[in-house]
Structure 1
């Protein structure tokens, strides 16, 4: 179970870093061009950043929930949660690549 927990935590941490970079670029683009497209991307990034930051808080800092996630959550649920975090990381890596291209 510890492996799933560690992979989910690492993936959520990488997602937070990638989203900070994307929100910075998209926010800068909105400030420069005033495009609704850039605003939509920035808002999407802020909401997804909030979700990943909250997940990271639960996984790392909240004493009750992090202990519960590490010990009492069934393995099938952890595999699903970990898969979603990892797929999200790959999607964000692609977005970073497209954004900086």
Structure 2
């Protein structure tokens, strides 16, 4: 079980780093061009960043929930949550690649 927990935590942490970079670029683009598209991307990044920061809070900081997630959540649920975090990481890596291209 701890393997899936670790994968989900690492993936959520990587998502936070990628989203900080994307929000910085999209926010800078909005400040420069005042484009609705750049504003939409920046807002999307901020909301997704909030979701990933909350996930990290639950996984790492909250004493009751982190213990519950690490010990009592069924393995099938962890595989599903881990898959969602990893797929999100892959999507964000692609967004970073096309944003910086």
Alignment coverage as a number of residue pairs: 101
Q: 1:44, CA displacement in angstroms?
A: 0.1
2:13, 2:22 → 1: CA distance? 14
Gap regions ≥5 residues in structure 1: none
Gap regions ≥5 residues in structure 2: none
TM-score scaled by structure 2? Answer: 1.00
* RMSD across aligned positions (CA): 0.2
Moved over 4 A (4+): none
Q: 1:18, CA displacement in angstroms?
A: 0.1
2:56, 2:15 → 1: CA distance? 10
1:63, 1:16 → 2: CA distance? 21
TM-score scaled by structure 1? Answer: 1.00
Query: How far does the alpha carbon of each residue in 1:58-92 deviate from its partner, in whole angstroms, 9 at most, with x for none?
Result: 00000000000000000000000000000000000
2:24, 2:64 → 1: CA distance? 33
